[in-house]
Structure 1
Amino acid sequence: MKKLALLQVLLMSFIGIAQKNTSGFEKYPVFPECSEVAVSQLETCFNTTLQQFVYSNFKVPQVVVSEDYTGEVIVFFEVNSEGVFKVLYVEAFYNELKEEARRVFELLPTIVPATYNGNPSYVQFTMPIKIPLVMPSERNIGNTSVKSKQRSEAEAITFLKEEYDAIENKPYTNEKFSSSINIPLSHHQYSLFDPALNRVGQNNHTAQKPYVYSEVNAYYNFESEQQKLVKNKSSWLGRKWWNEHMVTIKGDGYWLTLDPGVDLQVGRDLDADIDTYNNTRLVYTQGGIGKQINFFAVVYESQGRFADYFNRYAESIKPDGGNPAIIPGRGIAKRFRSDSYDYPIATGHVSYTPSKHFNIQLGHGKNFIGDGYRSLLFSDNASPYPFFKLNTTFWKLKYTNTWMSLRDVRSEVTQDGSFRTKYMANHYLSYNVTKRLNIGLFESVIWENDNDRGFDFNYLNPVIFYRAIEFSTGSRGGNALIGLSAKYKFTDRVNAYSQLIIDEFSSGDIFGGEGSYKNKVGYQIGAKYYNAFGVDNLYLQAEYNRVRPYTYSHNSIVLNYGHNNQSMAHTLGANFSEFIGIARYQYGRIFGDLKVIVAKRGLEVNTTEDPFFYGGDIYGTEDNRPSDLGNELGQGNTTDFFHTEVQAGYLINPSTNLKVYGSLIFRDFKPEFNTESVFENQTTWINFGIRTDLFNWYYDF
């Protein structure tokens, strides 16, 4: 009421001022419909046009109708010097009426602004909207001010001092679903809307990940799907725990959510007799400023101890400098207590969408290209990294360019105590050939900071053949890969997909059949079956991956396809064949996943008697190969690998993706012969936890 009284005082003052300044120096704003009327009639035409627009577009909220409310909405607004309508204040009995008034005024077009003394100026108005709605001829609009300088200084100061109190925190209405924020990479989460994205006849693209919410929301209604899971909770704690974000802020042209999160796990490696745990606390925020800029950020603080095979691998890829490990997919860890790791990390991105054809992102995180569980082109296996990404979508095409800064943290490449920096640029062109068939073209190049050249601007050109640039800068100064992908939709419920990666295109070596070490290729073939056997939400997937020795490695020590001692493509590196079977199911908030992997791997021997590089570890140098010819998949220390993982749980909060779960992993690892670092072992790992699911954990290596 205090605000309304102040507003009325101001309006009375402004009305008096306006009545005294109806001279030839001022001219009303002009709607397109009023462009031909006489100057003396502009006020009437402006009023009539605005009244008719509001009457035609205003939708009285259901709560107002059901409660048989009679009254009015007072809208205080301006038309600025650029002809844009801007709501300054709304007074109404219901928040729903305030929201509706603001919505309608946001629909108004940009018009010719008012002028004062021949110069563009802004004009402020107050407009009553009768509830129930009344025909335009039965209500009036009043001009309240031609220019802000017409207010007295005291009135202006009084108005400005109410500015803080006038800030409204509007109800949050899931703005993220229509935003250009990346949907966090989570295999189970993506499986929920994968069927909606893969219907025959749609002109969308599914290989470039992570998706942004707005592109998926066109095919999968996040709002309605989330409403199906809402629990009827009236208390603040009940709503925040089961249904909502913890903190929401929304105002004119901006919104933000803020949530705490966890990844708390307790378990046991039964075979190694190790108690395991993970203690992650996190805070994440997401939001938007205007309609084109969105952002997402998350900060993790973590300590953990894992199953024996996981700990051994983490320590085998440790960085130079004394830190004991790199947690796979996470980052460098320092020692915590005597047998655990401490690994803090932060990720996030800013997303800018200037038009429906372009999306630009700057961030620190991960990306993925492909329709499979694995990717042979570009995956989210490694630790997060800085990136700049440009997505261009038009006609039947989606073109993605990504530029990254990566690190090699091995002691043999560290310079002056600093990790070695290298850069990667790749592009992927997705083309919907028919309503069923999609093909993709991929090219990537890695170069190092040799000769202090830093980021080579030759690779900034988004439409380019990187192989030609590689030769122009020196063939050993860069490592280029090319790839192909395809997907075919047999029905709305069944599709097949594939990938082909070529690391060194030498047709004579690839097709020669002599096992050349230059035959560095890999392929993937897979299929998905949605609502399998008529069971709603049952998702089945089968996938086969095969990568020859020496793929992704390079004769220059830094130019491998890796970051932080991890592969930027497949988790197993190279020199392997692998079959994966996956089943996922969700019923309401209950979910379950089953994964089975059978693989044949060729690992390095790494003994004094046999120090050769057999092509499995992408960080090896092919100059140390045992032979130019006769190289076969699985060479070296041939290892049979079996991994099965089952997980079941309950989704606590769909807004934050907070889950409680239990999991069981069985892993059988049988090399041809045992060495100090590679030896036969089995793992049975039981785990229970509560987790905010924002990234993929990979335990299957």
Structure 2
Amino acid sequence: MRYKYLILFLGFLNFEVYAQDNNIFIGRSYFSFQNKGDIYNIDTLKSNLHTTFKPIVKQGYNSFALKDSCSTLPKNKKWLFRKFYEEHLIVIKGEDYSVVASPIVNLNFGKDLVNNKKTFTNTRGYIVLGDLGKRVSFFTSFRENQSIFPLYMHEYILKTRVVPGQGYARNFKGKGFDYAMSSGHVIIDASKFFKFQFGHGKHFIGEGYRSLLLSDNTFNYPYLRIQTDFWKVQYTNLYAELQDINYFASNGIDNYDQMGYAKKYMSSHYLSLNLTNKLNVSLFETVIWRMNHAPGVTGFDINYLNPIILLRPVEFSINSPDNMLVGLNLKYLLKDNLSLYGQVILDEFSLEDLRKQSDFWGNKYGYQIGFKNNHIIGTSRLANLIEYNYVRPYTYAHHNPQQNYAHYNQPLSHPLGANFSELIFMNKYRFKKWELTTKILLMKYGADFSNDTISYGNDLFQSTGNFQQPNGNVQYGRPSDYGVVMYQGNLTNVLFKEFNISYIINHRTNFKLNLGVIQRDLENDDGKKSTTFFNFGIKSDLFNQYYDF
């Protein structure tokens, strides 16, 4: 009898994503399962679908369109079987509305063998999706978590006070952390050309595993997204409120809990053009500015609400001290299921100094190049990805650390910050409901020295120049203007290897049994640290989590 109730409970841990104009989930594992086993959706340019700004908002996209899954099931299938493998928990459906709701779970146990540390994650939450009429859809979710992480993660969380991408970390029984996060949005399909989305979440720009433009690496933030579609063009405006949870604490203000964290704002434009049925070219620009009024601080500047791309003239016209970046995203479909992709990010740039090869500190840029393919043979599918990322020192950083390209103590782009290179190999094999994933990352970066106040360009939360905090403390920046080379500072090498095998119980929620192992080796002037971490459990695998750094 006990097993019957356990099965009944597990059967409730799934739902079907079928809002008519809702987001396609940003989680890669879920997205890939719904799209023929690909690590990302490759073969889309032929349908004029823009896939580089995620989550994708698209009406009637493939299997995400609204449908009654029960109508396709054989009548002789029992209710318990359907709930466990194929259906959702709650469905409320009328002539002009529909609502889906279900719990979310992640029960994971493991052990850090090198450090002899038991680990676990216990996540409980819910998710609700719905449509109101033909032009309004909504989404909301909440997750409450307690976790004990392997040592390298534990040390990272103690330093940053956040669980990567998942919120503020509070002490849990002296060994782990308690953290929670919520998200949600409302989408209004205003016309054939315009969609408006207001919510609390995160975004990802690109076709790779990492993004140098905008990543879902950070915690959620409130935003307004305006999407315009016409011809072969998709134009996106993104306005967001970000938080610097370091600011009040780092300036000796002891009542920052009552004041709230320091606010800053982001205004981004993204122009995506399918030039041909094989080539997509996209332009990106963003500016970060602070809310607080002080010398050299703009406050809330309505000039940045300008919806038209090219903010640099606006910034110049108002003599702005703010942090602005521009970028390029490319995707080329070599043939079906085989593509090249890349990105370029420019923070500051001096062509004259680049020609002189003087290693000028102000040449702050990065690039990405990648290759991915997907083989489909019967019921078996094999996807591969190779990606290289390179970012110069001090990219994304700012003279005033509160105006860096970051949110909630994490970079808005790559988790390593800047002054790094990275090579990624990923493979995913799927046979029916079985899935095997391997991942190897080779990372190299120049960190700051623990006994030095100089910033060597890796940490975005350090000033690029000598910056005096409101409490009088001086934060020292770069060691020089010229001779700034890659990996300067404490040269650090990281080898990260991960293997996972999963059995997908219900593909509508990507609810699965999972067994994995992580091997991580870090070496620099401070010594060598190794982690071998085994874990197993069950989870609704819907959201990306980046523990590979």
Q: What's the TM-score once normalised by structure 2's chain length?
A: 0.88
Among candidates 290, 309, 315, match of residue 448 of structure 1: 290
Among candidates 568, 571, 575, match of residue 412 of structure 2: 568
Change in 2 beyond 3 A, CA 1:495/1:414:
farther
CA RMSD of aligned residues (A): 2.4
Change in 2 beyond 3 A, CA 1:486/1:463:
same
- Which residue does the alignment assign to 1:362? 198
- SS state of the match for residue 699, structure 1? coil
- Which residue does the alignment assign to 1:162? none
Amino acid corresponding to residue 488 of structure 1 in structure 2? Y
State the 1:586 CA deviation.
2.1
8 Å contact from structure 2 (residues 166, 219) kept in 1: yes
- The reply on whether 1:408 has 2:249 as its aligned counterpart is no
- The reply on whether 1:273 has 2:110 as its aligned counterpart is no
State the 1:177 CA deviation.
3.5
Note the alpha carbon deviations across 1:395-423, whole angstroms, 9 max, x for none.
11111111111010112258651311000
**Unaligned runs of at least 5 residues, structure 1:** 1-173, 319-325
Among candidates 57, 61, 65, match of residue 216 of structure 1: 61
- The reply on whether 1:185 has 2:26 as its aligned counterpart is yes
- The reply on whether 1:683 has 2:531 as its aligned counterpart is yes
Note the alpha carbon deviations across 1:295-351, whole angstroms, 9 max, x for none.
111111111110100010011112xxxxxxx11110002111111111021111111
Among candidates 370, 377, 382, match of residue 213 of structure 2: 377
Amino acid corresponding to residue 353 of structure 1 in structure 2? D
- The reply on whether 1:470 has 2:315 as its aligned counterpart is yes
Q: Which moved more, 1:511-520 or 1:628-637?
A: 511-520
- SS state of the match for residue 490, structure 1? strand
8 Å contact from structure 2 (residues 19, 131) kept in 1: no
Change in 2 beyond 3 A, CA 1:369/1:231:
farther
State the 1:352 CA deviation.
1.2
- Which residue does the alignment assign to 1:611? 453
Note the alpha carbon deviations across 1:249-289, whole angstroms, 9 max, x for none.
00121100110110111001111111001111001110110
- The reply on whether 1:669 has 2:522 as its aligned counterpart is yes
State the 1:471 CA deviation.
2.8
- Which residue does the alignment assign to 2:469? none
State the 1:232 CA deviation.
8.2
Among candidates 234, 239, 248, match of residue 77 of structure 2: 234
- Which residue does the alignment assign to 1:644? 497
- Which residue does the alignment assign to 1:317? 160
- Which residue does the alignment assign to 1:692? 540
Higher normalized strand content (fraction of residues): 2
8 Å contact from structure 1 (residues 263, 279) kept in 2: yes
- The reply on whether 1:308 has 2:156 as its aligned counterpart is no
- SS state of the match for residue 29, structure 2? helix
Among candidates 213, 230, 247, match of residue 394 of structure 1: 230
Change in 2 beyond 3 A, CA 1:253/1:534:
closer
8 Å contact from structure 1 (residues 369, 377) kept in 2: yes
8 Å contact from structure 2 (residues 101, 129) kept in 1: yes
Change in 2 beyond 3 A, CA 1:357/1:540:
same
State the 1:561 CA deviation.
0.5
State the 1:196 CA deviation.
5.9
- Which residue does the alignment assign to 1:334? 170
State the 1:186 CA deviation.
1.4
- Which residue does the alignment assign to 2:473? none
- Which residue does the alignment assign to 1:11? none
State the 1:585 CA deviation.
2.2
8 Å contact from structure 1 (residues 606, 612) kept in 2: no
How is 1:241-320 mapped onto 2 (pairs within 5 angstroms)? 241-318=84-161
8 Å contact from structure 1 (residues 413, 558) kept in 2: no
> Alignment length, in residue pairs?
511
Structure 1 CA distance, aligned partners of 2:60 and 2:395?
34
State the 1:454 CA deviation.
4.7
Structure 2 CA distance, aligned partners of 1:435 and 1:234?
43
Larger relative contact order (Cα-Cα within 8 Å, sequence gap ≥ 6)? 2
- Which residue does the alignment assign to 1:146? none
8 Å contact from structure 1 (residues 259, 656) kept in 2: no
- The reply on whether 1:633 has 2:477 as its aligned counterpart is no
Change in 2 beyond 3 A, CA 1:198/1:503:
same
8 Å contact from structure 2 (residues 227, 234) kept in 1: yes
How is 1:503-542 mapped onto 2 (pairs within 5 angstroms)? 503-531=347-375, 536-542=380-386
State the 1:389 CA deviation.
0.4
- SS state of the match for residue 241, structure 1? helix
Amino acid corresponding to residue 523 of structure 2 in structure 1? K
Structure 2 CA distance, aligned partners of 1:233 and 1:535?
26
Among candidates 429, 441, 444, match of residue 585 of structure 1: 429
Change in 2 beyond 3 A, CA 1:284/1:601:
same
- SS state of the match for residue 552, structure 1? coil
Structure 2 CA distance, aligned partners of 1:425 and 1:544?
28
Structure 1 CA distance, aligned partners of 2:86 and 2:252?
48
Among candidates 434, 448, 463, match of residue 621 of structure 1: 463
Higher normalized helix content (fraction of residues): 1
8 Å contact from structure 2 (residues 401, 460) kept in 1: no
Identity of aligned residues (%): 40
Q: Which moved more, 1:453-462 or 1:400-409?
A: 453-462
Structure 2 CA distance, aligned partners of 1:626 and 1:570?
24
Structure 2 CA distance, aligned partners of 1:233 and 1:336?
47
Larger radius of gyration: 1
8 Å contact from structure 2 (residues 127, 142) kept in 1: yes
- Which residue does the alignment assign to 2:184? 348
Structure 2 CA distance, aligned partners of 1:506 and 1:190?
40
Structure 1 CA distance, aligned partners of 2:203 and 2:538?
25
Change in 2 beyond 3 A, CA 1:588/1:669:
same
**Unaligned runs of at least 5 residues, structure 2:** 1-14, 466-476
- SS state of the match for residue 313, structure 2? helix
Note the alpha carbon deviations across 1:605-624, whole angstroms, 9 max, x for none.
131xx321000011111111
Structure 2 CA distance, aligned partners of 1:584 and 1:230?
29
Structure 2 CA distance, aligned partners of 1:294 and 1:666?
42
Change in 2 beyond 3 A, CA 1:230/1:593:
farther
Amino acid corresponding to residue 404 of structure 1 in structure 2? A
- SS state of the match for residue 344, structure 1? strand
Q: Which moved more, 1:460-469 or 1:304-313?
A: 460-469
State the 1:655 CA deviation.
2.5
Amino acid corresponding to residue 370 of structure 2 in structure 1? G
8 Å contact from structure 2 (residues 395, 418) kept in 1: yes
- Which residue does the alignment assign to 2:396? 552
State the 1:175 CA deviation.
8.7
State the 1:458 CA deviation.
1.2
Change in 2 beyond 3 A, CA 1:221/1:312:
closer
Note the alpha carbon deviations across 1:575-623, whole angstroms, 9 max, x for none.
111100111122222212111101111111131xx32100001111111
Change in 2 beyond 3 A, CA 1:178/1:329:
closer
8 Å contact from structure 2 (residues 146, 177) kept in 1: yes
Structure 1 CA distance, aligned partners of 2:317 and 2:271?
23
Amino acid corresponding to residue 226 of structure 2 in structure 1? L
8 Å contact from structure 1 (residues 188, 584) kept in 2: no
- Which residue does the alignment assign to 2:3? none
8 Å contact from structure 1 (residues 244, 656) kept in 2: no
Structure 2 CA distance, aligned partners of 1:222 and 1:230?
17
8 Å contact from structure 1 (residues 431, 438) kept in 2: yes
Structure 1 CA distance, aligned partners of 2:210 and 2:317?
33
State the 1:572 CA deviation.
0.9
- SS state of the match for residue 680, structure 1? strand
Structure 2 CA distance, aligned partners of 1:591 and 1:454?
50
Structure 2 CA distance, aligned partners of 1:212 and 1:663?
32
- Which residue does the alignment assign to 2:5? none
- Which residue does the alignment assign to 1:70? none
8 Å contact from structure 1 (residues 510, 518) kept in 2: no
- The reply on whether 1:480 has 2:324 as its aligned counterpart is yes
State the 1:571 CA deviation.
1.3
8 Å contact from structure 1 (residues 362, 389) kept in 2: yes
8 Å contact from structure 1 (residues 249, 257) kept in 2: yes
